[in-house]
Amino acid sequence: MAIKIVVTNVMVSDQTTAYHFYTEILGFQVKNDIQMGEARWLTVVSPLAPDGPELLLEPMGHGPLVEAAQAWQSALRENGIPAAMFGVDDVDAEYARITALGHAFEAPPQSAGPVRYARIHDGCGNLIQITQFLK
């Protein structure tokens, strides 16, 4: 049996802010943007794999789940754990590009074993990591 990731999610406090960050700043493409009551089924994909896994920008505004989602985000952030990690070819180039767009990173890129990475806040409560796998 083979299994693959089809959709995974990141909880977001505001889908409009998330839309801007994940598309205009990180460079993902919108796959689905369907109004569903007060929220949207909003997914993005890598432009390198438009038929690949989708990232659902999941709104936290679902009744009792709001407090649990906020607690989860806070615990991850406070412990320096990214909610998601995305691969890039050159983390230093992406750091420079995103910084030029006016978004501040938590710290400049750093190396750790076989990777070079940088972390940025998405404006929706999440710490996001961009990672370059070194050869």
Strand segments (E) across 37-75:
39-45, 54-59
Cβ 47 vs Cβ 89: under 8 Å: no
Q: What is the pTM of this model?
A: 0.93
Distance CA 54, CA 8 (A): 6
Q: What are residue 120's DSSP bridge partners?
A: 105, 128
Residue ranges and CATH numbers for the domains of the chain are: 7-61+80-133 (3.10.180.10)
| Ordered mean pLDDT values, 10 residues apiece, the chain (135 residues) | 93 96 98 94 97 96 82 94 97 98 95 97 96 94
Question: In this predicted structure, what is the pLDDT of residue 1?
Answer: 82
Question: In this predicted structure, what is the pLDDT of residue 115?
Answer: 97
Distance CA 56, CA 15 (A): 10
Question: In this predicted structure, what is the pLDDT of residue 64?
Answer: 77
Question: In this predicted structure, what is the pLDDT of residue 107?
Answer: 92
In this structure, the number of other CB atoms found within 10 A of the CB of residue 117 comes to 20
Question: In this predicted structure, what is the pLDDT of residue 66?
Answer: 87
